[in-house]
Amino acid sequence: MATLSQLKQRIDKLIEYQGEDSPVAAFIYTKEDVVQYDDDGNEVEIEDDKIIEDVLFNVEDTDYVYNVIQDVIEDELKEVVS
């Protein structure tokens, strides 16, 4: 898991190496995305930062997300290149 400041540093380096107009697809999840819903469907904010950090760390640490994205990239390449 990274902080927004760390993410900004990574993005700045990517811009430096690849240029400002380099294409990108990105998915960013922050603490505002880690929510629960009550029985009435109302959003319930999680106020414990440790829980939020654990959830976001586990999301970033899972290979499943990366594998699905790579599968989509491969499928799109087959479609676009052929």
The answer to whether residue 1 scores a pLDDT higher than 80 is no
8 torsion bin: left (phi>0), alpha (psi -120 to 50), beta (else): alpha
Q: Which residues pair with 43 in a beta bridge?
A: 37
For 37-58, write each residue's pLDDT tens digit. Answer: 999 999 998 999 999 999 999 9
pTM score: 0.72
